Amino acid sequence: MRQILLFIWEVSKIVIIAMLIVIPIRYFVFQPFFVRGQSMEPNFHNGDYLIIDEFSYHFRDPLRGEVVVFKYPNNPSQRYIKRIIGLPGETVEIKEGEINVYDEKGIPQILDESDYLPDLKNTPGNLKIRLDKNDYFVLGDNRLFSSDSRRWGTLPEENIIGRVLIRAWPFTALAKIEVPSY
């Protein structure tokens, strides 16, 4: 009987230690996310299983081109996935199919997205929006079928959960997600 109790005690210690390690990592560092819908095709597909880095934005700001998961501003219980296009303080203009990003001094940059959207012909829409100091402009990669900042406005920084770090499923598409250069 004593050996059974010792065995149970040892197993319990291992379970408790594992929980003390895994639970904080799961809730404060990395989080799983399933892609739902086609708004991020061709880069992310319905059913893709992603690992979200929740930690790095405590030490640095999000970068243009990063794919982020966030709480949808109009219904925070929903989670969305989009790509950051405009940063705080910038002005984003979509006109005649092109995206122009103006820095705080008003100097324009035509956004070249050919690295991650090689078949993109143009971005539908006609708008010009100035971002406040804590706002981001996000777009889905599937520009024709994405509900994004063109429709519902800017993304407040506090709604960002984290950046997509790894695509873990399907296993044949396993990859670390890199930030494109502009």
Question: What pLDDT is stored for residue 31 in this prediction?
Answer: 73
Percentage of the chain lying above the pLDDT 90 cut:
20
Q: Contact, 26 vs 20, CB < 8 A? A: no
Nearest to 111 by CA among 127, 95, 126: 95
Query: Could you give the angle at the alpha carbon of 92 between the alpha carbons of 90 and 93, nearest 5°?
Result: 145
Distance CA 81, CA 140 (A): 8
Which residues on neighbouring strands pair with residue 52, listed in sequence order?
31, 164
Which residues on neighbouring strands pair with residue 128, listed in sequence order?
93
DSSP secondary structure string for all residues of 23-67: HHHHHHTEEEEE--SSTTTTTS-TT-EEEEE-SGGGTS---TT-E
pLDDT tens digits for 75-120? Answer: 988 889 999 999 999 999 988 888 888 888 878 888 888 777 777 7
Distance CA 170, CA 168 (A): 6
Amino acid symbol at 62: P
pLDDT tens digits for 9-51? Answer: 888 888 877 777 766 666 665 676 677 888 888 888 888 888 8
pTM over 0.95: no
Amino acid symbol at 124: P
List active site positions. Answer: 39, 82
pLDDT tens digits for 57-82? Answer: 888 999 999 999 999 998 988 889 99
Under DSSP, is residue 84 helix (H, G, I), strand (E, B) or coil?
Answer: strand
Q: Is the pLDDT of residue 137 over 90?
A: yes
Average pLDDT over residues 153-180: 82
Average pLDDT over residues 52-61: 86
Computed on alpha carbons and rounded to an integer, the radius of gyration of the chain in Å comes to: 20
Binned at pLDDT 50, 70 and 90, residue 160 comes out as very high
